[in-house]
Chains A and B, each alone.
Chain A
Amino acid sequence: MSERCPVHHVSFSQPDVQSDIGPFAKRLLEERVYIDPITNLAVVSHYEDIAYVSAHPELFSNRMSTRPSAKSKEGAAQELKLVQRYAERGFLPFDTLVTNDPPSHTSYRKIVDKIFTPATVQKFEAEIRTIVDELIDEIGPKGSADMMADFSIKVPLFFIMSHLGVDRSNWRRVKTWADTAIESINPTIDPDRELEIADIQIEMQQFINASATTFEANPAPTILSLLQHAEVDGERLDRAALVNIASQIFVAGHETTGGLIGNGLYMLLNDPALMQRLKAEPDKVSAFVEEVLRVNPPIPHRIRLVAQDTELHGVKLKAGSMLLMSLISGNLDPDKFTDPDEVSLDRRNGRQHLTFGQGIHYCIGNIVARAEARIAFQQVLARLPNIKLDETAPPPKWALSFQAHTLANLSVTF
């Protein structure tokens, strides 16, 4: 993005913004409500505005994107095609967690909350550590690696695959389930691609459904099985809700955490003093995880549907229009975080970034993600102490994506 380019001509949908999102995210703070010139989304960037939007689902609804609603410009005809595909071969997505509002959201969330407690996640930590160590065992003797492809994406992917009962040997195919789910969120998606992605999502649903059938008869200490057998007020999830929720957990739990680990490793590789401090003080890695989430959130923004005519800072927002919360901007808001560009391991409010959301939609897998990132960073620092960027390989680049702020590659030597 050109330094001289006026902010009013810039959009999150532009590849040059996606390849270096930070400067635009900060410039957004110059305005309270910015109208994206390409997507027409109203964008809020200040921490307090995002907190306000998050706290008012009656005005800014999340009930908008799970149903196959044809985000491409083909409209109703495309939507019908998508609905038919899911209805005939899979499970028609419907609003459960991420794209739902109370009271329906509350009943689903109560069940899922039973699984992702601190105590339950603590029991998963040994398994996460084993996955991390096995991956380091694999790359260590080679002396170099792409820490995105060979490590970061595999940590959460292998973890969640095992918890959905999917064999690890299929990981390349399974990864496309998550990649395409993220891709489908792009508001400028091509309609043919949208249909292809529906087919891939149906394949994911079928795998999860088959695993659920196995776990129904043979309960196991896995997330899918625990979810399947969890009860609130004597009620369990029916199969359609289970497949929908497990699909969301899989996608959200893999792509985002892989990005988080990669983003954090990149920050460490660019800051030798920080790396040294964390080697000496591994207990501070938890604080570092929060700073990665704040400064380089793998999901930089979230979208809400304006549910009724309203106004923000003098800008009229019509019911049915879309609003984008720039989480990365809010995380860099100096009114909330002192010296926001600085990575500090001693922030008193370091866990109050917006990356996991706020209120009823706070990321349900946040405790798992935090554990995965912490263990990954601690083990890399301890076991690959000489890690550094590979200057003979292509330099790290941010993936060109509307919805994700993650690296495409991260070549290192150690």
Chain B
Amino acid sequence: MTAWICQNCGHIYDEAEGDPDSGISPGTRFEDLPADWICPDCMAGRDMYALQENA
């Protein structure tokens, strides 16, 4: 499992945790997130995320 970091605000999407508040189950890979999923903290789109290098 890996983590992705929002380049806009620093929110971390950890694949192991998912994003339950947005209906994303733990274990969901970043690539499998719905196309309209957005950063829960700053509302940036998925394209603003980058793989967290030290995750």
A, B: real partners: yes
Query: Cα distance A352–B11 when bound, in Å?
Result: 10
Residue of A nearest to B40 (CB): A352
Report whether A351 and B43 are in contact in the complex, using a CB–CB cutoff of 8 Å: no
Is A55 interfacial (CB 8 A cutoff)?
yes
- Contact call B7/A359, Cβ cutoff below 8 A: no
Question: By the criterion CB–CB under 8 Å, are A113 and B7 in contact?
Answer: yes
* CB pair A55 B43 closer than 8 Å: yes
Say how far A226's CB is from chain B's closest CB, in angstroms: 15
- Please name all residues of chain A whose beta carbon is closer than 8 Å to the beta carbon of B50 when the two chains form the complex: 117
On chain B, the residues within 8 Å of A117 by CB distance are: 7, 50
The secondary structure that dominates the B interface is loop
Asked whether, in the complex, the Cβ of B43 is within 8 Å of the Cβ of A356, the reply is no
Q: Chain B 1-29, CB within 8 Å of chain A: the 1/0 string?
A: 00001011111000000000100000000
User: What is the interface size of chain A, counting residues whose CB is below 8 A from a CB of the partner?
Assistant: 17
How far, in Å, is B11 (CB) from chain A's closest CB? 7
Residues of A within 8 A of B5 (CB): 118
Docked complex: A337-359 residues within 8 A CB-CB of B: 348-349, 351-352, 356, 358-359
What chain B residues lie within 8 Å of A370 (beta carbons)?
10
A244 to B23, CA, bound (A): 41
- The minimal Cβ–Cβ distance linking A124 to chain B, given in whole angstroms, is 13
Which residue of B is nearest A114, CB measured? B7
Determine the interface band of chain B, counting residues with CB < 8 A from chain A.
Answer: 10 to 19
Main secondary structure of the interface of A (DSSP, over half): helix
| Contact flags A265-305 to B (C-beta < 8 A → 1, else 0) | 00000000000000000000000000000000000000000
Which residues from chain B contact A113 at a C-beta distance below 8 Å?
7-8, 48
A370 to B44 Cα, complex, angstroms: 18
Contact call A358/B7, Cβ cutoff below 8 A: no
Complex alpha-carbon distance, A356 and B8, angstroms? 11
Within 8 A of B (CB), among A44-95: 54-55
- Select A366's contact among B9, B21, B40, beta carbons within 8 Å: B9
Nearest CB on A from B51, distance (A): 11
Q: A348-B21, A349-B21 are in contact. Are A118 and B10 (CB under 8 A)?
A: yes
Q: Is the pair A351, B21 in contact by a Cβ cutoff of 8 Å?
A: no
Interchain nearest-CB distance for B5 vs A (Å): 6
Question: Is the pair B21, A362 in contact by a Cβ cutoff of 8 Å?
Answer: no
Q: Which residues of chain B have C-beta atoms less than 8 A from A240's C-beta?
A: none
User: Could you say which residues of chain A place their CB within 8 Å of the CB of B53?
Assistant: 119
Q: Chain B's nearest CB lies how many Å from the CB of A373? A: 13
A367 at the interface (CB under 8 A from B): yes
A358 to B42, CA, bound (A): 5
Q: Which residues of A contact B (CB under 8 A)?
A: 54-55, 113, 117-119, 348-349, 351-352, 356, 358-359, 362, 366-367, 370
Interface residues of B (CB under 8 A from A): 5, 7-11, 21, 40-44, 48, 50, 53
Show 29 A/B contacts (Cβ-Cβ < 8 Å), sorted by A: A54-B43, A55-B43, A113-B7, A113-B8, A113-B48, A117-B7, A117-B50, A118-B5, A118-B7, A118-B10, A119-B53, A349-B21, A351-B11, A352-B40, A352-B41, A356-B9, A356-B42, A358-B42, A358-B43, A359-B43, A362-B8, A362-B9, A362-B42, A362-B43, A362-B44, A366-B42, A367-B9, A367-B10, A370-B10
